[in-house]
């Protein structure tokens, strides 16, 4: 199978069939200074959750961050409930290690700059000068994923969400624009491209020499599985706000 064939096969493999999935980036805090010995903290929490909640956590570029997530759910309400469960589970594990998981859009400027010991993240971090790397490590977002049944629905919904990006940005700004300002240092043009077909997405991936469209880093991206992800919301642990933003995405995306 050629590269285009592999790309197309992944786009609707394990399709969510119009479901919802939520992701939340959190900061890891310690009661003692975050020293060299604490570098594997996120990996330790991640490993301790394998087996009973492995679908609910993933690692981030910063060793002082952990992403928690819901599984794909049929409704926004179910997705929020599952994310709240995931966050509570991860916070309990962190507490057992004398750590805390905190949710805020922007982590402190003096936070640790340790990079997760994985080749992708090490290479990712090496691309940035110091102030930009710090911006990468400080920002935390709440991300809404909405699944699509086929390519036609995906690009119809993508177009609507793209057209209303400013409404989405305003609704999800909980830091007076600070998280968005910092993220703009990393991705100066955060506006979602005017994709109208899978050909457009494939060409954009080819330009980056990476066929995973999730790594395009715009405020709205297309992902494997027939999923659209909205990345312009500040991190929040308020279930009511999570539900409000998820339902807003649902409303704008339409059928």
Which parts of the chain fold into alpha helices (H)? Answer: 3-11, 41-48, 76-96, 119-126, 130-138, 151-163, 165-171, 178-186, 198-208, 239-253
Please compute, for residue 184, the number of CA atoms within 13 A of its CA located in the half-sphere on the CB side: 7
> If residue 22 lies in a helix (H) or strand (E), which one and from where to where?
strand 20-30
- CB contact at 8 A, 56 and 77: no
Predicted confidence at residue 158, as pLDDT, reads 98
**Phi, psi for 240 (deg, rounded to 5):** -65, -40
Percent of the chain predicted with pLDDT > 90: 59
Average pLDDT over residues 68-86: 96
Residue with the bigger pLDDT between 166 and 54: it is: 166
Encode pLDDT of 98-114 as tens digits: 889 999 999 988 877 88
The domain limits of the chain are 3-253
Reported as a single tens digit per residue, the pLDDT across 227-252 is: 999 999 999 999 999 999 999 999 99
- The fraction of the chain above a pLDDT of 70, given in percent, is 94
**Angle ∠(17,152,193) on CA atoms, nearest 5:** 105
CA–CA dist 6, 253 (Å, integer): 27
Closest CA relative to residue 21, chosen from 242, 253, 255, 251: 242
Q: What is the pLDDT of residues 16-69, one digit of tens each?
A: 677 999 999 999 987 655 544 455 678 888 888 887 677 899 999 888 899 999
Q: What's the fold here for domain 3-253?
A: Creatine Kinase; Chain A, domain 2 (3.30.590)
């Amino acid at each position: 199978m050629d590269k285009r064939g592999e790309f197309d096969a992944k786009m609707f493999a394990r399709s969510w069939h119009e479901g919802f999935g939520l992701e939340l980036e959190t900061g890891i805090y310690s009661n003692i200074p975050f020293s060299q010995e604490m570098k594997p903290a996120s990996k330790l929490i991640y490993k301790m959750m394998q087996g009973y909640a492995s679908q609910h956590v993933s690692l981030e570029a910063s060793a002082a961050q952990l992403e928690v997530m819901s599984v794909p759910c049929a409704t926004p309400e179910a997705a929020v409930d599952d994310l709240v469960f995931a966050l509570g589970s991860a916070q309990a594990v962190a507490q057992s290690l004398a750590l805390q998981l905190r949710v805020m859009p922007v982590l402190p400027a003096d936070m640790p700059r340790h990079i997760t010991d994985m080749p992708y993240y090490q290479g990712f971090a090496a691309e940035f000068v110091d102030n930009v790397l710090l911006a990468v490590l400080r920002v935390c977002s709440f991300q809404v994923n909405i699944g699509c049944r086929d390519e036609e629905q995906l690009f119809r919904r993508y177009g609507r969400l793209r057209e209303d990006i400013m409404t989405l940005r305003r609704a999800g700004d909980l830091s007076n624009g600070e998280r968005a300002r910092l993220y703009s240092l990393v991705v100066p043009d955060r506006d979602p491209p005017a994709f109208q077909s899978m050909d457009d997405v494939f060409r954009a991936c080819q330009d980056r020499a990476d066929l995973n469209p999730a790594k395009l880093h715009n405020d709205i991206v297309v992902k494997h599985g027939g999923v659209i992800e909205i990345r312009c919301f500040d991190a929040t642990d308020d279930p009511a706000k999570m539900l409000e933003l998820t339902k807003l995405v649902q409303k704008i995306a339409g059928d």
